[in-house]
Chain A
Amino acid sequence: MLDTRLPTDEHLWQCMSETMRKVVLPSLEDPFARVTLIRLIGLAEYAPARGNDPTERRISEVVTCIDQLAARFPAIQQQLPTQWPQMDACVVYELCGQLLAGAVGDNSEQAQQIRAELKPLILAQLDEDLSVSSPLIASFGGQLNEK
């Protein structure tokens, strides 16, 4: 049953987006104000689309991938920080960056596997972010996205 005692965040974002689109924007003539409002509308529609914070899941994915690489390549095993696997995002992403950077210009089996396994995972996480945020690119240029 719908609880109507308090509006949800989603209701509030929708209220802002709709009001800015239908009431505020048509009344604006100043070009800078219009572009700014279109960007704000984009953000009001981006905010509720983001869903839950994916950080924990993503770290877990990266840790799993690095563990699999470390099991096959002793040099990676030796690079693991003490208390690995830990779920501190900074430590995990720092190691991930070191592995990708270390593989540059290297055609060894280890470097190839880092590029083949770790990089696609990081790219998939980036794609996931962009799939939600990409409408903002049009907003940035002053184009109102279709609803």
Chain B
Amino acid sequence: MKNSSMNEMTAPLRGFFTDKLGRPATVSETRRLAEGHSRQMLLVHVQVEDEQQRYVLRIEQDGIFGTSSAEEYRIMKGLYEVGFPVARVRWLETGRDLLGEPFFVMDYVDGDLDYPTGDTVGEFVKVLHRLHQLDWQSAGLEFDLKPQSVEESTHMQIDRWTDIYRNASNMPLPLLEEAAAWLHHYAPTEGRLGIVHGDPGPGNLVHDKGKILALTDFEFCHLGHCHEDFVFCATMRGMHTLSVEQWVQLYRELLGTELTEKQWHYWHAFNLFKGACANTTSLRAFCEGRNPAPNLAIVGTAIQQNCMQQLSALITV
């Protein structure tokens, strides 16, 4: 589904909501909620008799980043059911008949999407920690990859991202091959296996009056080592909110967590590798003409190359 075709969704969505809600529904307004490269996020106002309801549509974009709506939907559903702050998911459409892409629908969470400041940042860190500590087995959460340990999970994730890049790229990328081997070689053998968000930080949360109402964007969520999230947030998604040193201080003060230099180095490389692999899918969608959007061309060239350059600087012996 391309950005330009938002108006074309109104008619199919009217039928969709009428069917799902069991009452005649009309779509009174559809607007972009946030810019996403792998998912289109739309806020949809649905009129059901005298009542107006608001939903969010999360629509896949040509397989970009190689993630699955079905797994994301399943994880969010499980998290909601155990009281974790996420939007309540309603319906999943795995087919392409309706909107041309798989999508799911969730409740709209009315809050602030802007980057948090002050104490709200600390509240976010606590919520992220809660996610890491959550007993996913008791909660009945089902992940596509089912590692038995942190070590196994890390190897699985490296292989997953390597496969995604190899499937997307028509040419081997030697620096990514080297990075994959390096990450396998130095993979941590210790640590608690927990839920990793995969893309945590400012921009992927809804807050209000200092409270975190919901974490969003669970497409990269998996079982793994929580250090992946801490480093990702500090060095990538959260870099415009706090300095790396401030994030480190926050982790230490709020959670008593402090990564060694070696751990930080490893997970920074891991996250850059993940980004570089994921970004190759953008170029493929662009070059095949499936989605000729400017953002995909840039993510697949300059952003991907920049990721690889930073990554290679971390890959030493």
Contacts and interface: CB of A to CB of B under 8 A. Distances in A.
A140 interface: yes
Nearest to B180: A101
A136 B295 CA distance: 10
Contact of A129 (B177, B295, B305): B305
B248 interface: no
A102 B181 contact: yes
Given A32-B35, A93-B172, A140 B298 contact: yes
Nearest to A89: B171
User: SS class of chain B's interface: helix, strand, loop or mixed?
Assistant: helix
A117 B287 CA distance: 32
A109 interface: no
Contacts of B263: none
Given A133-B302, A137-B306, 8 more contacts: A36-B293, A39-B294, A42-B294, A94-B172, A98-B177, A104-B185, A139-B298, A140-B299
Interface residues of A, number: 39
12 contacts: A36-B295, A39-B295, A93-B171, A96-B174, A100-B181, A104-B178, A104-B182, A104-B185, A130-B306, A133-B302, A137-B302, A137-B306
Interface string B87-102: 0000000000000000
B32 interface: yes
A97 B309 contact: no
B32 A126 contact: no
A107 B305 contact: no
Interface of A: 32, 35-36, 39-40, 42-43, 46, 89-90, 93-94, 96-105, 107, 115, 118-119, 122-123, 126-127, 129-130, 133-137, 139-140
Contacts of A35: 35
Interface residues of B, number: 33
B175 A126 contact: yes
B173 interface: yes
A127 B312 CA distance: 11
A99 to B, nearest CB: 8
B301 interface: yes
A32 B177 contact: no
Contacts of A134: 302, 306
A100 B180 CA distance: 10
A130 B308 CA distance: 10
B171 A40 contact: no
Contacts of A140: 295, 298-299, 302-303
Contacts of B312: 119, 123, 126
A128 to B, nearest CB: 10
Contacts of B297: 39, 43
